[in-house]
Structure 1
Amino acid sequence: MSEKAPDGQRPSIAAAVITQDGAVLLVRRRVKEGSLSWQFPAGEVEAGESPELAAAREANEETGVTVTNGKNLGERVHPNTGRTMIYVAFDSADGEARVVDDEELDSLAWVKHSDLTTYVPYPFFGPVQNYLDEALSN
């Protein structure tokens, strides 16, 4: 479980890396964070919440899908936003993905491996890229 962020420190961001049927779910935010546009469903880890639960909650709040049994892929300070990012993998989603939070999201897409660089033209965090290379090639 995560604790409340120390004074002056912003809470970590949990990102849901959801793969299904050879594609990964990406969302496009209405307001860019740094140079980001297309990204994983994500949001702040709330006090007392694990990164896995936060990523699952954010995926549901943003896209309406339900995910379970998340696997932590790792964490880093994102080079563009300066926020601590925790990446959580889910290998299936229940429900049809749609833009639920239309104040925050503009669009979403299930993206095949061969199209990833069209949506995200910079390298993914190493453990995330390794996971996507394996999960999207099956």
Structure 2
Amino acid sequence: MTETTGKPRISAAIITSGDRVLMVRRRVKEGESWQFPAGAIEADETPEEEAAVRETLEEAGLKVEADRLIGQRVHPKTQREMSYTACTVVGGEAHVADADELDAVAWVGLDEIPEYVPYPLYDKVQEYLEGALDSLA
């Protein structure tokens, strides 16, 4: 994906463990917003491998490895280019590691996601989570 908005591309980590997915509550100027760990892709990073892994460690103190790219899109609200990467936990315990950006972390079940995110997830992420979490439930 090439940069089209002039803003940095964003990489999101979709991290599952058991029958849960990791979500973080981000501090934003409008209040607080639950999301997946995510952040800007740096010039020397590949979205699916390095940015998602780095952002997860920086924000949630969790060591993960990238498994596969789930999908890419232009986010309908922010118009930012997004990539979504499936990740596996390899070490640590999720916690608020960057208190300037986050104020909470939560392991969320598939049926609980609408309580955290009041709009539909990107369809490829939803499909991935349904397969990954339903198979473990």
- Fold conserved (TM > 0.5)? yes
Residue 68 of structure 1, CA deviation: 0.9
Residue 91 of structure 1, CA deviation: 3.2
Which of 46, 49, 59 is equivalent to 1:50?
A: 46
Q: Which portions of structure 1, spanning 4 or more consecutive aligned residues, are displaced by more than 4 angstroms?
A: none
Residue 107 of structure 1, CA deviation: 0.7
1:18–1:93: 8 Å Cα contact kept in structure 2? no
Partner of 1:134: 131
Residue 71 of structure 1, CA deviation: 0.8
Identity %: 50
Q: How many residues align?
A: 134
Find the residue that maps to 2:97 and give its secondary structure. coil
Partner of 1:101: 98
Question: Counterpart amino acid of 2:39?
Answer: G
1:24–1:111: 8 Å Cα contact kept in structure 2? yes
2:62–2:89: 8 Å Cα contact kept in structure 1? no
Give the whole-Å Cα distance in 2 for the aligned partners of 1:32 and 1:87: 24
Structure 2: which 5+ runs fail to align? Answer: none
The answer as to 2:2 corresponding to 1:22 is no
Partner of 1:73: 70
Structure 1: which 5+ runs fail to align? Answer: none
- After the TM superposition, which of the residue ranges 90-99 and 35-44 deviates more from structure 2? 35-44
TM-align CA RMSD: 2.1
Larger fraction in strand: 2
Q: How big is each residue's C-alpha offset from its partner over 1:45-99, in whole Å with a ceiling of 9 and x where there is no partner?
A: 0011011210000000000001113310111111111111100011334211000
Find the residue that maps to 1:70 and give its secondary structure. strand
Partner of 2:61: 64
Question: Does the C-alpha gap of structure 1 residues 32 and 55 become closer, same or farther in structure 2, counting only changes over 3 Å?
Answer: farther
Give the whole-Å Cα distance in 2 for the aligned partners of 1:69 and 1:31: 26
